[in-house]
Amino acid sequence: MPVPCGSGCGRNAFMRRPKTGDVLCKECFFLAFETEIHNTIQQEELFRSGEKVAIAASGGKDSTVLAHVMNVLNKRYNYELDLVLLSIDEGITGYRDDSLKTVAQNRDDYGMPLRVLSYQELYGWTMDRIVAEIGRSNNCTFCGVFRRQALDRGARLMEVDCVATGHNADDIAETVIMNILRGDTARLRRCCDIKTGSKVSDTIPRVKPLKYSYEKEIVMYAHFKKLVYFSTECVFAPNAYRGHARAFLKDLEKVRPSAIMDIIHAGEQLQIKGTVKKPVRGVCGRCGFVSSQQPCKACVLLEGLNRGLPKLGIGKKSKGERMVALQEQQMREKAHLVKNDF
């Protein structure tokens, strides 16, 4: 027997929302999903009229839905935003080169200008080459650090007012779990912020309009809207630490669907004791981009690759300093031997 839509529109329901449990028809689900994102944007004051906003576009479901919804809301509620697409090419053969075709399709569908920056262009390395050097145990560290800075570099080149990323509720809950397991107090509180950076601190702000949107609902929205997106997992991702947090969260969600929002709200309310030393976010003295250490992690990792010490930025800072000191000592000894030969 057909179940009527819970909104009272008179149509039959076709789904039960994973987030709220409401039974809705397709049209009411679309409206509810979009309205929740609009309410998040308004309540958190993510944008101002006339701003130029770069949407971080990877071609995946999150960024594709974000681009579509932002395009819809910008017209429906007259945000008066100048929307553009910013993509990062990490140089992963068989993955990123294909997903960028989807981004190009988004550009054509929504009429948004697109800028693509590559790791090769910015750092002189591709992820394929980095993995060949470092192996598959720590490759996500390099990719994550370089990608975050690449977005900052791209945003500065495009002269945008802020960057909108496709982080959803599941992503943020996973990050909370990861930071708890690692004991990372610095990132634990910051990872729940819906807006980071500010023009006051000379950093381009980043916002997360999908912060309270469930991954399942994003997939359903993309599917029933027939949006074109790239769904293949990164070839280097299976060994990522995040995968364990994701599997744990999925098990929790089966028992308690509200677990995702519960974890996010818990992370938002966490307070760090005043006696705990917290890193101060500033600007890297080498590259000039935001960092909580000197030099920034991206510069340390890049230096390691260029020195032939790919593990330089992995682990504790003191370990990296010892590696550099040992390499410099070996170079001095080699130079001394060459000198004695003459």
Q: Which residues are annotated as a binding site?
A: 56-58, 62, 88, 166, 171
3-state secondary structure of 290: strand
Q: Which amino acid type is present at position 20?
A: T
Both structure tokens of 38: 């609009």
* Residue 88: φ, ψ to 5°: -115, 125
- For the annotated binding site for ATP, the residues are 56-58, 62, 88, 166, 171
96, exposed or middle or buried, with CB in 10 Å at 0-12, 13-18, 19+? buried
Residue among 166, 127, 162 at smallest CA distance from 147 = 127
C-beta separation of 200 from 85 below 8 A: no
Please count the other Cβ atoms lying within 10 Å of the Cβ belonging to residue 270: 13
- Beta-bridge mates of residue 82: 52
C-beta separation of 246 from 199 below 8 A: no
* Residue 24: φ, ψ to 5°: -135, 155
DSSP 63-102: HHHHHHHHHHHHHHTT---EEEEEEEE---TTTHHHHHHH
Residues of 310-341 as b/e, b for ≥16 C-beta within 10 angstroms? bbbbbeeeeebeebeeeeeeeeeeeeeeeeee
Both structure tokens of 209: 């309009």
C-beta separation of 76 from 92 below 8 A: no
Residue among 278, 237, 5, 69 at smallest CA distance from 144 = 237
